[in-house]
Amino acid sequence: MSKLKTENYKGTRDFFPEEMKLRTWMFGVMKKIVQTFGYEEYDGPLLESLDIYKAKSGEEIVNRQLYNFTDKGGREVAIRPEMTPTLARMVASKSRELAKPIRWYSIPNLWRYEAPGHGRLREHWQLNVDLFGVTGFQAEVEIVQLACEILFAFGATSKHFKVRFSNRKVLNDFLGKTLGLEESKQQAVAKILDKKNKISVDEFNNLISEQLNKPETDLRLVNNFLNSTYTNLSQIAGIENENSKEIEAFQREMNKLGYGEVVMFDPSIIRGFDYYTGFIFEIFDTSPENKRSLYGGGRYDNLIGLFSNDELSGIGFGLGDVTLENFLRTHNLIPSFKKRTGIFACIQSESCFSEMAKISTKLRRVGLMIEMNLDGNLKLGKQIANAEKKGYEFVLIMGEEELKEQKINLKNLVSGEQKKISIDDLQLVIQSLTKT
Ligand code: HAM
Q: pLDDT tens across 237-292, in order?
A: 999 999 999 999 999 999 999 999 999 999 999 998 889 999 999 999 999 999 99
- Measured CA to CA, the distance from residue 88 to residue 276 in angstroms comes to 13
pLDDT for residue 29 = 98
- Measured CA to CA, the distance from residue 147 to residue 105 in angstroms comes to 12
Mean pLDDT over each residue of the chain, to the nearest integer: 95
* Residue among 64, 126, 161, 328 to mutate when testing ligand 1 (max atoms within 8 A of CB): 126
Residue 86 Cβ inside 6 Å of ligand 1? The answer reads no
Give residue 141's region: left, alpha or beta (phi > 0; psi -120 to 50): alpha
Beta bridge partners of 314: 132, 300
- Measured CA to CA, the distance from residue 327 to residue 162 in angstroms comes to 12
Beta bridge partners of 123: 111
Nearest CA to ligand 1 atom 11: 320
Centre of ligand 1 from the C-alpha of residue 323, in Å: 10
Residue 123 Cβ inside 6 Å of ligand 1? The answer reads no
* Residue among 111, 124, 300 to mutate when testing ligand 1 (max atoms within 8 A of CB): 124
pLDDT for residue 272 = 86
Residue 121 Cβ inside 6 Å of ligand 1? The answer reads yes
pLDDT for residue 434 = 75
Nearest CA to ligand 1 atom 8: 320
Q: Which of 223, 219, 221, 225 is nearest to 243 (CA)?
A: 225
Residue 137 Cβ inside 6 Å of ligand 1? The answer reads no
Give this prediction's pTM.
Answer: 0.95
Residue type, 31: K
What three-state secondary structure class fits 74? coil
Nearest CA to ligand 1 atom 25: 82
Low-confidence ranges of the chain (pLDDT < 70): 436
Residue 373 Cβ inside 6 Å of ligand 1? The answer reads no
Nearest CA to ligand 1 atom 4: 296
Taking CB atoms within 8 Å and a gap of at least 24, the contacts of 225-234 are 225/174, 225/178, 225/267, 226/193, 226/196, 226/267, 226/268, 228/265, 228/267, 229/265, 230/265, 233/170, 233/265
Centre of ligand 1 from the C-alpha of residue 126, in Å: 7
Atom of ligand 1 nearest to the CA of 128: 30
* CB of 158 closer than 8 Å to CB of 151: no
- Measured CA to CA, the distance from residue 258 to residue 148 in angstroms comes to 11
Question: Where would I find the H helices in 292-436?
Answer: 321-330, 353-365, 380-390, 400-405, 426-434
* CB of 284 closer than 8 Å to CB of 164: yes
Nearest CA to ligand 1 atom 2: 296
pLDDT for residue 147 = 98
